[in-house]
Structure formats: structure tokens, C-alpha cells
Structure 1
Amino acid sequence: MNTMLRKSILGIAGLTVAGGLAAGPLNHHDSTPTARDVAVTAQADPAALVPHGVQGAQSRVDLNDEQTANVKAIIAATKKAGMDERAAVVSIATSLQESKLENLGHLGDRNDHDSLGLFQQRPSSGWGTPEQITDPEYSTLAFLKGLKQVDGWQDMPLTQAAQTVQVSAYPDAYAQWEHQAADLVAQHWNS
């Protein structure tokens, strides 16, 4: 499929994602613990969160209090969406690439079009209003709703799953954050 057609289809999918979120909650998540939930009550093993191994050189940034709070917000939203630790790893790695886990407002001339928030989602592409996109819970739920629509995302390398949702000009860049994202999920999933 050519790039323009793919971007158009994914742009429409973004509108669908945002429209679905505006229409109501993603899913009711039964809070009854499953065997998997019980098995992860101890701190998660970062290696188990990277089922395909990391791809390429890994990057790492030291996080301040705001960035750590955003990690926790992404994890909370992932749980609210009824998704597992791997979804949180994909989300956090994506946010590390897009914003270094900083909730970006309008950046003026440095802004990539009208990209905002933890995931650099665009109001003009249907991700939501600027206020919604800069809400960490909303933006994470929007990203996760897009991820859920990717058939087989659980079996994809992280960078492929993230790219399918984000449609970045740098599709392989997400891979460099997988190890740090797995470490953060292991550290904060049960905190």
C-alpha cells in the first residue's frame, strides 16, 4: 500500500479512535483477578515484558517527578482500559519517543504541525481537542484504543505496533526506548 493511502487510512482510523472515545468508555473491565493478575502481584520481570528482544541500540533518559507521574498515569490508564503490562510498555516507549514523557503544549515554530501531549497527537487528525490530548489519561486511552485496533499487536515488535498507531516519519525510532519502558513498567505496575 502506498504511503499516502496508508496515512489517509490511518488518519481516518485516528478520527474513529477519537470519535469512539468521545462516545463513551472503552470497555467495562471486570476487576476479578485472573491467574495472570495474581501471577504479576510481585514486581514484573522486565525481560518478560520484551518478548521479541530489543531492536537496536537502546536510549535512556533520567526522569524528573513530572515524567514519573506521567509514567504512572500511562500505567493507570492502561489498567483502566483492561490491557496488560505489554500494552503499557508499548505506550511508555511511544511516549518516550514522542515527548520524553513530557506533556507537550503548543511549541510554536518547533511544533510538528499541531502535535500535543505525551504522544504528540494532533487535534487536526481527530485525536481530540487540545485540552483532551494534553490530559495524560485521555491521550493514553486514545493511543490504547488505536493499539487495540491493530490486529496482532501483541505479537509484533514494539516499534511496528507503535508505528501502526502513530504513523511517524521515523517508524523505527520507538525501538530504542523498549528497555527503559519495560524497566518503568516493572518498577511501577504494582505501585
Structure 2
Amino acid sequence: MKSAIVVGGLVVVATVAVAGVSAVTSVVSQDQAADQARAMQAGLNCNATLGPITAGPAGSGAAEAAKLNEDQRQNVALIISIGKDRQLPPLAWQVAIQAGMTESGLHNLDHGDRDSEGMFQMRPSMGWGTPTEVRDPHYAINKFYDVLVKVPGWEQQRPGESAQDVERSAFPDRYHKWEPMAAHLIGNVGLVPDPTGCGRGTGLLVPAPTQAAGRAIQWALAQQGKPYVWGAGVEQQNSFDCSSLMLQAYRDAGITLPRVSRQQFRAGAMLPVEQAQPGDLLFWAYDSHDPDTIHHVAMYLGDGKIVEAQQTGVPVHIRSVRWGEAELMDQAVRPGV
């Protein structure tokens, strides 16, 4: 733990594809109908999504999950189980997983920086509990969640940012590394049939302002459910990354876009993001004032919704977008203008 409030250690959920995962799955096994009912009771919606997240190379989330040992998998199962019992959304599990993997590798350590101990590297001297308590996985996970839910706006920001808000690390960007793996795990080990919580419904969408935009929207929506693959080819429609989905949707409408999201930002007329119309492209960047740091693009549908290819482990889907959410660029782009 690098600072006063360091809660570092999340459990990582193991994927069903991982050998030996059946034991973990049995610990957290609840049928999908029960999970969906609990989500409804908790009032979850598309704002409790994974957020616009940068994924690594194709399959990186599954590959990293496959490296987890039995101890790590059991800790992941416990994180998910406690999160479900507390009726917390999957995003909370993801925050904890990324924090735990960063701080302790999802191990219940009896040592750490200064007096840090346990899965989240909590410091007894900073009021996190006694040494015995912070080394107790049940206590540590509940304590982590107690602090997380008090973070203002944690459900509207990137999981790694929320992990940093709890941990207060001197290296705030390090939590982002585990995004693909954590997302993959909550979908598979956590048995969440729709990790984004958004389903396929489009809501009350505004009609597209142009024929080209309408056609691009129609094409993109038809790809829902197809997997995310980093660097997916633009001459096939079996899988997509964020920019290949936008490129192919507009290509079908007769408009040519560059291949990557940073280039697509400069491939049309710009307008304030709050004035975006259906078919316009929205962008997310590590520094929202620097287009060179753009890492994600999605298509606005109207009615506060977007369609996107988000990250490894999450298929093409619709979700809600909130003006002012973390990393969202101030400018939208209208292709072909």
C-alpha cells in the first residue's frame, strides 16, 4: 500500500474456460434468472456499466484469468459472493478485482508496504482494522465495499479510477491494467448474462437526421451480441473492436472513415457533445483535452444511448451515456460532413 488510505487487493474471478474453475463457479452459482431479479431489486441500470474501457490484445482477459491459481480463484469467488449478497452491481466487483489484483495479486498477504496487510493491503495504523481483521478476507472485502460505495460518482467512472479513490495509491494508473481480465471474470465466473446491464432495447430513439446516419445506425445495431476482438479485421463481421464497428457501419452507408479512433476524431465536422444527433461519433480519451490520447469511440443513438464495441469479454451492445462522464471528449464528430 502506497498511501494512507490503501485498500489494495481485489479478488479476480475465474473464467469458465479456466481449468479447475468449476469449484469456484459452484461457490457463486446462482441461476441467471435470480441474478436478473436481484439486479432489478437493486435498481441497476445502464449507468452501472463497465464503462468505456480500453481492452488489450484479443483474448487478453481470458488469458490472464487462466493464470490464476486456486487461492486467487477462491478469493474471486468470495468477492463476487459478498458483492451479490450486498446487492452491489457487477461494476463494484470489477473495481474490487482490479484493486486486489494490483495490490496483492489477489492473495491474502501477511506483509506489505509499512504495516499494510491482507488482500487489499489495508493499514491498521490508518484505521482500517486490526491486523487480524485486515487479513480476514470476509472482513477486508466488506470493508473495501464500505469505502467504495461512499465514493461520489463511483458508478459513473472508470473502474480503475474508483479503485484509486479507495486505495489512494502513488501510482493511480496501475489499476487500469486489469480491466479486460476483470470484465471477463465477472461475466463468466459471476454468471452475469448481460455484464453491461443494458440488454438490447433502444428506448425512444430520435430519428436519424440523414439517410446515411440512419443506415449506419441500422448496420451497427444489427451487430449486437457479436464479440469484441482487439484489432478485428474490417473485411469481416464476426467480431469488432470499437473503431472497426464505426468504420464498417459508415462504410455501409457510403462514407469512408479511417481505421483507428484517434483518426476518426478528425474525419468529420465537430460539434459540442451535448448537441450530438443520432449517428454522430463520441470519443473517450485518457486526457479529454488531448485528442492524441483517444482510446475509444462509440455511435450516439439519441435518447442518451450509444452502441459500442467496448472491450474483451463484452459483446457489441447498447448502453446509456452521461454527458460529463469520465474521459468523454467535449466534441462529437459527424462523419461525412
Q: TM-score scaled to structure 2, two decimals?
A: 0.41
Task: Give 5+ residue unaligned stretches, structure 2.
Answer: 8-33, 41-47, 193-337
**Where do residues 1-191 of structure 1 align in structure 2 (5 Å cutoff)?**
37=38, 50-54=50-54, 60=64, 62-106=67-111, 111-190=112-191
Change in CA separation of 1:50 and 1:38 when aligned onto 2, cut-off 3 Å: closer
Query: What is the CA distance between 1:95 and its match in structure 2?
Result: 0.3
Contact 1:49 1:182 in 2 (8 A): no
Q: CA shift at 1:131, angstroms?
A: 1.4
Contact kept? 2:55, 2:180, Cα under 8 Å: no
Structure 1 pair 69–125 and aligned structure 2 pair: CA distance change class (3 A): same
- Secondary structure of 2:172 counterpart: coil
Q: Is the Cα–Cα contact under 8 Å of residues 81 and 144 in structure 1 kept in the other structure? A: no
Which residue matches 1:21?
none
Supply the AA of the counterpart residue of 1:89: Q
Query: What RMSD over aligned residues (CA atoms) do the two structures have, in Å?
Result: 2.8
What SS is found at the alignment partner of 2:117?
coil
Aligned mates of 1:50, 1:113 — CA distance in 2:
33
Structure 1 CA distance for aligned equivalents of residues 175 and 107 of structure 2: 16
Contact 1:55 1:175 (8 Å CA) reproduced = no
Distance in 2, matches of 1:179 and 1:34, equals 22
User: How does the TM-score come out when normalised to structure 1?
Assistant: 0.70
Relative to total residues, which structure has the larger strand share, 1 or 2? 2
Higher percent of residues as helix: 1
Q: CA deviation at 1:126?
A: 0.7
Q: Which has the larger radius of gyration?
A: 2
2: distance between equivalents of 1:173 and 1:140?
20
SS at match of 1:128: coil
**Structure 1 pair 38/67, CA: closer, same or farther in 2 (3 Å)?**
same
Q: For residues 56 and 152 of structure 1, what CA distance do their matches in structure 2 show?
A: 26
Is residue 51–residue 157 contact of structure 2 (8 Å, CA) maintained in 1?
A: no
User: Which aligned segments of 4 or more residues in structure 1 are displaced greater than 6 angstroms?
Assistant: 55-59
Deviations 1:75-114 (A, max 9, x none): 11212222111100110111000011111112xxxx3011
Q: What is the number of equivalent residue pairs in this alignment?
A: 152
> How big is each residue's C-alpha offset from its partner over 1:137-178, in whole Å with a ceiling of 9 and x where there is no partner?
211111111111111100011121111111011111000011
Counterpart-to-counterpart distance in 2, 1:92 and 1:34: 19
Amino acid at match of 1:178: E
Gaps of 5+ in 1: 1-6, 15-32, 40-47
Distance 1:94 1:75 in 2: 14
Q: SS of the counterpart of 2:115?
A: coil
Question: How far, CA to CA, are the matches of 1:38 and 1:170 in structure 2?
Answer: 33
Cα shift at 1:34: 8.1
